[in-house]
Amino acid sequence: CEDPYLKMVYAATWAVSVYFAYQRTWKPFNPILGETYEMVNHDEIVFLAEQVCHHPPMSSGHAENKHFMYDVTSKLKTKFLGNSVDVYPVGRTRVKLKRTGEALDLIPPPTKVHNLIFGRTWVDSSGEMILTNLTSGDKVVLYFQPCGWFGAGRYEVDGYVYNADEEPKILMTGKWNTSMSYQPCDMDGEPLPGTELKEVWRVADVPKNDKFQFTHFAHKINSFDTAPKTLLPSDSRLRPDRYALEKGDLSKAGAEKSRLEERQRAEKRWRETKKELFVPKWFQLAGEVTSTPWGELEIYEYNGKYDEHRAIVADCTDDDGIDIESTKFNPWQYQDLGIQTEAI
């Protein structure tokens, strides 16, 4: 995209689109320290994420193709309020556009989870999302409307693309669970005469009567069918509790979850005994602390070792007959640590 402001529309819409998944209120799996997820076969994008810290929970991710590079350090700060909880995204998301060298920085809005104990659980996000072009100074400021009485205003998002002089150039409007549109505007933020509102994104159809409330894409990236043949043994797809739940075996899923958590606690005790620290495999501390609206954040950066791993894997073409599903889930730091509860 050559238009600098339309480019910001596209980037901001991408950031908004992920909120569709926030309607899914199932409790997520808590990542095991060292757990990873990798994707290498979606539109030439290579993506890797790793749980780099357990207390506080932090994960890092890196994605790349010939057009962009994406890096995130994710950390959540929570505040319990009786029957609800506020979730503050104390993280940093950066996107670098390779052709122009531009860098984009994203600050998402906070989220509130309602009815944790009583009533139907639902999620709402309200406040400002700010996407800044650190190279040009252009930015997008979108306001997520809070849900009012009887659902008034829920999902609504409105805002503008501003140039470096903070003059509005394009207005944006829509709903984070449905679609987003844009229209050129004047200095007062009013639509320019002769222009019309254009839809830039609409949520894709979702599977009907899906018991997991997944999108088609979520099913795709969770499937072994789309996993690389040489899947890292620490990959989330291999978690025995997740796999048992997918197959509908709730009893086994609960037992496996307990064993994973006990193994993780045992590793923590062993690290403390040896006075050692956990060292992530694919990310490292950047030696940088950044400020966010909700606190300070230590930044993790991609260390490049996964590229070396993929290069070695590419040279090993004899992967016929590999049964990915039988690969043992193994994110552990101490391979020979034996505890009675482990049957993993």
Q: Which of the four pLDDT bands, split at 50, 70 and 90, describes residue 208? A: confident
Q: d(Cα 95, Cα 299) in Å, to the nearest integer?
A: 15
To which H or E segment does residue 95 belong?
Answer: strand 92-97
- Ranges 117-121, 164-168, 306-310, most confident: 164-168
Residue 249: predicted pLDDT:
93
Strand stretches in 163-294, DSSP E: 168-175, 179-184, 198-202, 283-292
- Is the pLDDT confidence value at 329 over 90? yes
Residue 100: predicted pLDDT:
95
Backbone torsion region of residue 287, taken as left when φ is above 0, otherwise alpha when ψ lies between -120 and 50, otherwise beta: left
Q: d(Cα 136, Cα 181) in Å, to the nearest integer?
A: 23
Please state the pTM of the whole predicted model. 0.91
- Among 85-94, 217-226, 303-312, 321-330, name the one with the lowest average pLDDT: 321-330
Residue 96: predicted pLDDT:
97
Residue 343: predicted pLDDT:
44
Residue 276: predicted pLDDT:
93
More confident residue, 1 or 297: 297
- Among 85-89, 140-144, 197-201, name the one with the lowest average pLDDT: 85-89
- Among 25-29, 159-163, 253-257, name the one with the lowest average pLDDT: 25-29
Q: Which of the four pLDDT bands, split at 50, 70 and 90, describes residue 338? A: low
Tell me, rounded to whole angstroms, the distance of Cα 140 from its chain centroid: 20
Residue 148: predicted pLDDT:
87
Residue 3: predicted pLDDT:
95
More confident residue, 318 or 166: 166
Q: What is the mean pLDDT of residues 201-226?
A: 87
Tell me, rounded to whole angstroms, the distance of Cα 111 from its chain centroid: 14
Residue 135: predicted pLDDT:
97
Q: d(Cα 72, Cα 301) in Å, to the nearest integer?
A: 8
Task: Give SS3 for 275.
Answer: coil
Structure tokens at 133: 């072009």
Residue 336: predicted pLDDT:
76
Q: d(Cα 148, Cα 167) in Å, to the nearest integer?
A: 30
Q: d(Cα 64, Cα 70) in Å, to the nearest integer?
A: 6
Residue 320: predicted pLDDT:
57
- Is the pLDDT confidence value at 220 over 80? yes
Q: d(Cα 195, Cα 184) in Å, to the nearest integer?
A: 7
- Is the pLDDT confidence value at 109 over 90? yes
Q: Is it true that the peptide bond before 193 is cis, omega within 30 degrees of 0? A: no
98 close to 68: Cβ distance less than 8 angstroms? yes
Residues 38-74 pLDDT 10s: 998 778 899 999 999 998 899 999 999 999 999 999 9
Residue 44: predicted pLDDT:
87
Q: What is the mean pLDDT of residues 272-298?
A: 94
- Among 103-107, 276-280, 310-314, name the one with the lowest average pLDDT: 310-314
Residue 341: predicted pLDDT:
43
Query: Bridge-partner residues for 58, per DSSP?
Result: 53, 75
Q: Which of the four pLDDT bands, split at 50, 70 and 90, describes residue 318? A: low
Q: What is the mean pLDDT of residues 303-311?
A: 93
Residues 1-42 pLDDT 10s: 889 999 999 999 999 999 998 888 777 788 999 999 999 877
